[in-house]
Amino acid sequence: MEAEVGNLSRRVGTGKESACSFVLLHLLNKVEEAVRVSRERSREAGFRICASPDFSRLAAGSLIMGDGTSIPIYQSQCPDGYPKTVGTFHTHPTALSVPSPQDLTVEPLLGCIASPAEGKMTCFSKLSPEARRRVRKLEALQSEYRETERMMDYLCPGKGGCLGLASHLHRIWDEFAREYLAFVRDYCCSTTLGG
């Protein structure tokens, strides 16, 4: 995996601005098509970002549609000769072009979200080891939050007690929010879309 990430890093770059530039340079036609369709239908549209076996070339997968708030992105098919999924692109038809926490944890290495309403695209890169470490921390915090919620449901059903667990839940949420905002600040880039 690290050798593949290295090949992709050399191709895309690891700076936060490089993901936006690279996607627009190589996948602009598919980005424009997804944004247009999303605007017309008020539904999410997107595709996989696919790589050749040695990660030296990228291509857009097939365009797929979701509903107004989600998309089954992995139904997009990579073209022949590009078997590796390295990222995804999708739209938020009426929301901002900011990646959701789920977007950050689900995407393999690159992710881009465009908002037809806002006229912007935001991309993020998990190509640097620090970015991947921070996403793993976000995943761990999400898991700890869900587990604490389950414990509260089991131990404190309908009770006003369990203040210690509730306080712990708030601390996890606060740490998650700080980590998420720091990731967006440090590893996301935004650009205005033409047209």
The domain ranges of the chain are: 2-127+188-192, 131-179
pTM of the complete model:
0.79
- Measured CA to CA, the distance from residue 126 to residue 107 in angstroms comes to 9
pLDDT value at residue 100: 84
What does the pLDDT look like over 130-158, one tens digit per residue? 888 888 899 999 999 999 888 887 787 66
Q: How confident is the model at residue 163 (pLDDT cuts 50, 70, 90)?
A: confident
- Measured CA to CA, the distance from residue 116 to residue 74 in angstroms comes to 22
CATH number among 2.60.40, 1.10.20, 3.40.140, 3.30.980, domain 2-127+188-192: 3.40.140
Alpha helix positions (H), 123-162: 129-155
Tokens of 154: 């089991």
Give mean pLDDT, residues 98-118: 83
Residue 117 predicted with pLDDT over 70: yes
